[in-house]
Structure 1
Amino acid sequence: MQIIPSEMLPGRDEAALRRFLEGCKEAAVTKGHFQIASISLEVKHIAPLAVLQSIYEPEELHFYIERPADDEAIAGAEAVVQARFDGPGRFQQVQAFADDVLENTIVVGDLSEAFTGPHFFTAFSFEDSVAEGGEFPAATVFLPRWQVSRSKGKYGAVANLKIDAGTNLDEAVARVWGAYQKFGAFDYGNDPANDKPPEQPEPCSRRELAPGVFEGAVKQALESIREGEFEKIVLARGIELEADGPWQPLDALNRLRERFGSCFTFSYGGGSGRSFIGATPERLLQIRDGQLLTEAIAGSAPRGRNAGEDAACARGLLDSEKDLREHACVRDSILRRLEQVGIEGIADASPRILPLANVQHLHTPIHAEVGESVHLLEVLSELHPTPAVGGTPREAAVPRIRELEQMDRGLYAGVVGWFNHLNEGEMVVGIRSALIDGKRAKLYAGAGIVEGSDAEKEARETELKLNALLDTL
């Protein structure tokens, strides 16, 4: 990747922009390969979700992720380059694709702030391969044409253009300059997206994706656990809602982020008109400045109706031998997986409570130092799926999941997130999630099954988790 000093755009005017793009075009001709021109600019106050909503097109790829408690959000829309992969080598293929793109990228702008420079957005299904006709590919990666972000009081915009010998520079300059002016002085009050009614349609039907299967699957899994086939398995159930009109996924996302401020709210659109949205409590992997952060989340209890009842539920969770065993299974597996790529993870000796709006979990943060030679996607391929969504041993438990659940998870319990040219990134687990497709919405929730689990209790736990999305929709 070639980095041009920000002084190359001294006046931030159309003439300077054109000179930069002319240089990119000359490089494309010389190399005989298209070049990505990536332009990073600081802008005034900007709300990434509002901007995304203003340019949202169901048939275009988009990505959004925010954790309100961290005061960070990033959105990307439209793909300047993209790729889709299937099979066990998908993580390595995504890395190779990104490396090739970066080899042919020319960047200009101040790259000292968060979310500057080219960022790749990704979505990985739970399984390495998906059935023919699946709603999303097993792996998708794209570099957005437009990217906007907020990070602790700083705001930025990135434009990525594909430049080759045939590029019309007049059109390219006009497109980027117009977007910069729009993002720099975004008029939220006059945004046409605000004219849309915020109300969601009324659900008029509900059905199970695999009727009558879940409790029987739990009993079968417990039998396999007793026989020593595996120690833990996570089983999910799904429901489908049909409404009297199409859902607005970004309106639903806005309500999710307001209700679940400590969760990662996300939306991914694969360009087919479908959106995968959610509010996940589970960070799978973060790497920034050489520091890795992941976490074990397993073991659940409801929230109480008052402070005393809530504390009693939390104490019961901390004292539950079954939940502590399930949690330790997840924590220890993550630490072992990190060792496989030469990373020594450090975890707290005992879990703490992670309280969410409608449920509370046992939670253990895990951190480590990571060297430059280890790519984020290499770590990701080792961690996914963790026992929090798959099982342990992974090789024995995960292949049984589809057989027992009798449904295709798709992106549920998969991975969505971003990474950049600095080997930094944020990847989260796609749970507490829903697939929005016009008038239909598929919602998913799972529960960890270990020795001592009860089928009826686990079904109630999944209903509790489903409520996060049910209440929103």
Structure 2
Amino acid sequence: MGHKMTDIREMQKVIISPSTRFFTETVEVGRISPLSFFEAGASQYKDKRFYWQNADKTLTLVGIGHAYTLASEKSGSRFKDISEKWKQLCSILIKEEKDIDPVLFGGFSFDEKNRKESEWGEFPSGYFVVPSFQLKIEEGKTMVSINMITDRKEAALDFERLREERDKLIHIAQVEEFDFTNQNKVIATTERDKEQYLSAVENATESIRKGRADKVVIARALELQFEHDIDSVKALHSITNEQQESYHFGLQKGKSLFFGATPERLIEIKNGKAYSACVAGSIRRGKSAQEDRKFGDELLGDRKNREEHQYVVSMISNVFHKYCNEVLIPKTPKLMKIRDIQHLYTSVEGTLGLENDIFLFVQALHPTPALGGVPTDVALDIIRQEEDMDRGFYAAPIGWTDAAGNGEFAVGIRSALLHEDKAYLYAGGGIVADSVPELEYDETWVKFRPVLRALGGKLNG
């Protein structure tokens, strides 16, 4: 069943009255398991939480409660809309030097022009939150911040109540013993519109042969039915254990959680430097180290995959040359090996130009050729025409930025949307002139595998 589209007007809070202030306060605490902190907020803030861990595990963020929500349905300007609203909030921030910067966390839908009634009905085109309670683990330090945005005269009393609540959350996270094992059973697995997918691949291939496009990414979905409602923290615990080398994310909105373990960074900005990664072209892992090496060499030498990869490199490097002063890009790709699949990988680095914020890069880079196609506009038209589904936040930018302008966004692949006792999984692949529908179909099963395994589902065959 599809869920009704949210009336976004409910969420468009007025920014900003002259008396509104943004307060933040940070305390350093002893070691806390981030998932225990996430779960500590379950009783009061079950529907208002997020989780983020970067791929090299040097940064973990957890948000509990909403100090503020930013949403956008502005066609053609949603990235700018969110950016401007965040800058407005940051302009009224009051913080001391010891306090860390507040974080804004969220994401955008894949295609604002392709909204259908679906499981994504609760999610606007752009959706971000400032958490009331923010856990940040970085460089061996565990910090917990309170964020409060208010125009109330009783702000001091309100903030004192938040301090009491923060202390309770920290205490629960440190002393409670949580069981994160998943005992929930999958009772049905449904392939959504398999024939539609095979037909879409065939039609996209035909369009490419006729010269309409060079590449089009076609995706499909699986639906899992569970015995009971799915527990968000158990899904996150399972995926973080399963996929150690990936970005881990979870964004809760209402009764839905969008979560996953993606290998693909879209953009990172840190201390005036911008970083991205070109990840496109893939092959399975071998059953032995020797076979794995053989597959890797095959991938590095495969013309189709190298072409697919080069589309991404060209597009991302063009964006970096536009918004950065100096750009560094290796001439040839390397292999990125994760548990179920290996990819071609090229890093990109640049020195940030003045006035260029992370949302500018997100807008310019999304969708990359790895998730949309080449040329982008034509590929999106073909996807809208052939795919016949709303991707929602799948294959779209998800991540964070802070009040200092640092931040990181990944691409929401190897992901699923959980809603009560159902999970919706998504996977796709790049279609080119010589693509074979059955082989593309087989590749989607490899990409379903990480989330399917994390949720306790079985592979097809």
Amino acid at match of 2:256: R
Aligned residue identity for 1:379:
F
**Aligned residue number for residue 169 of structure 1:** 156
2:215 equivalent in structure 1:
232
Q: Is the 8 A contact 1:443 1:466 kept in 2?
A: yes
**Residue deviations 1:170-193, cap 9 Å, x none?**
34213214414652x5554425xx
Residue from 294, 307, 311 that aligns with 1:329? 311
Deviation string for 1:104-123 (max 9, x for gaps)? 22112515xxxx21111121
1:120 aligns with 2:104: yes
Q: Is the 8 A contact 1:123 1:414 kept in 2?
A: yes
CA contact (8 A) 1:411 1:430 kept: yes
C-alpha distance 190-33 of structure 1, shift in aligned 2 (>3 A): same
Query: CA contact under 8 A between 2:281 and 2:343: conserved in structure 1?
Result: yes
The aligned residue for residue 20 of structure 2 is 34
Whether 2:300 is the aligned partner of 1:318: answer yes
How many equivalent pairs are there?
434
* Contact 2:324–2:353 (CA under 8 A) maintained in structure 1: no
Q: Which residue is equivalent to 1:159?
A: 146
> Which residue does 2:31 correspond to in 1?
45
Q: Contact 1:126–1:412 at 8 Å: present in 2 too?
A: yes
Question: Once the two structures are superposed, what CA deviation does each residue of 1:299-322 show, in whole Å capped at 9, x if it has no partner?
Answer: 111111111111111111111111
Match status 1:306 vs 2:288 = yes
Q: Give the conservation status (yes or no) of the 8 Å contact 1:67–1:261.
A: no
2:160 maps to 1:201: no
**RMSD, aligned CA:** 1.8
Residues 277-288 of structure 1 mapped to structure 2, 5 A cutoff: 277-288=259-270
Shift of 1:330: 0.9
Aligned counterpart, 2:9: none
1:220 matched to 2:220? The reply is: no
Deviation by residue 1:333-372 (Cα, 9 ceiling, x = unmatched): 1112333435553211111110000111001111111023
- With over 3 angstroms needed to count, the CA separation of the structure-2 counterparts of 1:422 and 1:32, relative to structure 1, is closer
The amino acid across from 2:313 in the alignment is R
Q: Which has the larger radius of gyration?
A: 1
- Counterpart for residue 145 of structure 1: 132
Q: Are the counterparts in 1 of residues 362 and 397 from structure 2 also a CA contact under 8 Å?
A: no
Measured in 2, the distance between the counterparts of 1:273 and 1:199 equals 18
Give the 3 Å change call, closer, same or farther, for CA 327–438 of structure 1 in structure 2: same
Query: 1:213 & 1:240 partners in 2: Cα distance?
Result: 15
1:254-292 CA-to-partner distances (Å, cap 9, x unmatched) read 11111211100110012x110001000000000001111
- What are the superposed Cα offsets for residues 355-402 of structure 1, whole Å, 9 maximum, x if unpaired? 000111001111111023111111111111101100111111112212
Equivalent residue number for residue 467 of structure 1: 449
Residue identity (%) = 29
In structure 2, runs of 5+ residues without a counterpart are 1-16, 456-461
Structure 1 position 54, deviation (Å)? 1.2
Once residues 197 and 360 of structure 2 are traced to their aligned partners in structure 1, the CA distance between those partners, rounded to angstroms, is 34
Query: 1:19 corresponds to which residue?
Result: none
Structure 1 residues 343, 138: CA separation in 2 closer, same or farther (over 3 Å shift)?
farther
Relative to structure 1, is the Cα distance of residues 470 and 178 closer, same or farther in structure 2, using a 3 angstrom cutoff? closer
Work out which of the residue numbers 221, 232, 242 in structure 2 matches 1:249.
232
Q: Does 1:54 align with 2:40?
A: yes
Which amino acid counterpart does residue 57 of structure 2 have in structure 1?
A: D
Q: 1:59 to 1:187 in 2, by over 3 A?
A: closer
Q: Give the AA of the match of 2:283.
A: A
**Counterparts of 1:58 and 1:204, CA distance in 2:** 29
Out of 421, 425, 429, the residue aligned to residue 443 of structure 1 is 425
Structure 1 length normalisation: TM-score? 0.88
Residue of structure 2 in register with 1:3 after alignment: none
2:80 to 78, 81, 92: 92
Please tell me whether the aligned partners of residues 52 and 250 of structure 2 are also in contact (alpha carbons under 8 angstroms): yes
Cα shift at 1:445? 0.6
- What TM-score, normalized to structure 2? 0.90
Asked if 1:419 corresponds to 2:415, the answer is no
CA distance in 1, matches of 2:406, 2:180: 38
Cα distance in 2 for residues equivalent to 1:190 and 1:42: 20
Give CA-to-partner distance per residue, 1:151-185, whole Å, 9 cap, x none.
Answer: 131111110112324325334213214414652x5
Q: Verify the 8 A CA contact 1:204 1:243 in the aligned structure 2.
A: yes
| Preserved contact between residue 316 and residue 368 of structure 2 (Cα < 8 Å) | yes
